[in-house]
Amino acid sequence: MSNPHISFEFFPPQTSEGAEKLAHTCTQLATLKPEFFSVTFGAGGSTRDRTLNTVKEIRSQGYDAAPHLSCVGSTRENIREILATYKEAGINRIVALRGDLPSGMATVGEFQYANELVEFIRKETGDHFHIEVAAYPEVHPQARSARDDLINFRRKLAAGADSAITQYFYNADSYFHFVDECRKMGITSPIVPGIMPIVRYAQLARFSDACGAEIPRWMRKTLEGYGDDSESVQAFGLDAVTHLCEKLLKGGAPGLHFYTLNQAKPSMAILERLKP
């Protein structure tokens, strides 16, 4: 199998110890020559400074970094400042998202949808940034229908986004169906599948329930059956996710984007198995 384009996602650490661990994780994953590392942005910009610091640290190690930028709870001026800071730091790739409204925050701010943010970034910065947006093969949990979700996705690309990264999933057919539907609508942009390694089942189930990512029943039942046997959970997860990645790449996926949860080992183990 030829080497696919790969990328890895981190969240900004909260402590200096976490930052040290992440620097080590980044160094390990960098040996796999990823296209870029992305760094998440907390609800309503709650991690703004930590996201920027993490991105700068990754850049200082000589790697390409893409900060996430969510617009909910933000103003145009606020986003303008962030864009200027990223440009100054030599960042040329952004993951543009609507984001979640933090609890207690009453207003969505000046941007309601991700396509408005994409349009604003293009208007302010021209072609400086390669803009990634989110895609949902299993349908965004707040979408009224699958069709509406596809129309919203097309709107983000029409506003100026270059490519997309999907929410994670474990059913390859959902990805292929989504891509087929996109192509029928005239969407030609690359759609990179998001991959979530399976490390701890309880944590995964919680994430999946919150974001609308389906864990197929056979996988749920198998993982539940292992109980506290973390070794079996991880061995099964490695087999299942490696098989998923193989199927995606053979089916034409342009690359893989790993949600690392700031750990190197699970993603590295999968990629080691994918080697030709």
Q: Is the pLDDT assigned to residue 242 strictly greater than 50?
A: yes
Q: Which of 9, 57, 116, 132 is catalytic?
A: 9
**What pLDDT is attached to residue 111?**
83
Please, which pLDDT band fits residue 40 given cuts at 50, 70 and 90?
very high
Please, which pLDDT band fits residue 1 given cuts at 50, 70 and 90?
very low
Distance separating alpha carbons of residues 115 and 261, to the nearest angstrom: 27
Least confident of 21-25, 166-170, 187-191, 210-214: 210-214
Q: Is the pLDDT assigned to residue 41 strictly greater than 70?
A: yes
Domain ranges of the chain: 5-274
Q: Are strands 191-195 and 93-97 parallel, antiparallel or unpaired?
A: unpaired
**What pLDDT is attached to residue 107?**
58
Reported as a single tens digit per residue, the pLDDT across 67-77 is 999 887 788 99
The number of residues in the chain equals 276
Burial class (CB in 10 A: 0-12, 13-18, 19+), 95: buried
Q: Report helix, strand or coil for 13.
A: coil
Is-contact 111 71, C-beta < 8 A?
A: yes
Q: Which of 121, 135, 133, 123 shows the shortest CA–CA distance to 91? A: 121
Q: Report helix, strand or coil for 54.
A: helix
Is-contact 247 183, C-beta < 8 A?
A: no
Distance separating alpha carbons of residues 239 and 260, to the nearest angstrom: 17
Q: Which of 166, 231, 241, 169 shows the shortest CA–CA distance to 200? A: 231
pTM of the complete model? 0.94
Architecture, CATH, for domain 5-274: Alpha-Beta Barrel (3.20)
Please, which pLDDT band fits residue 2 given cuts at 50, 70 and 90?
low
Q: Is the pLDDT assigned to residue 160 strictly greater than 90?
A: yes
Distance separating alpha carbons of residues 47 and 169, to the nearest angstrom: 26
**What pLDDT is attached to residue 103?**
53
Reported as a single tens digit per residue, the pLDDT across 192-231 is 999 999 999 999 999 999 888 999 999 999 999 999 999 9
Q: Is the pLDDT assigned to residue 3 strictly greater than 70?
A: no
Q: Is 17 a catalytic residue?
A: no
Least confident of 39-43, 93-97, 111-115: 39-43
**CA quadruple 175, 181, 183, 185: dihedral positive or negative?**
negative
**What pLDDT is attached to residue 47?**
65
CA angle 85–88–91, rounded 5-degree value: 85
SS3 content of the chain, % helix, strand, coil (to 5): 50, 15, 35
Is-contact 33 63, C-beta < 8 A?
A: no
**What pLDDT is attached to residue 130?**
97
Reported as a single tens digit per residue, the pLDDT across 173-197 is 999 999 999 999 999 999 999 999 9
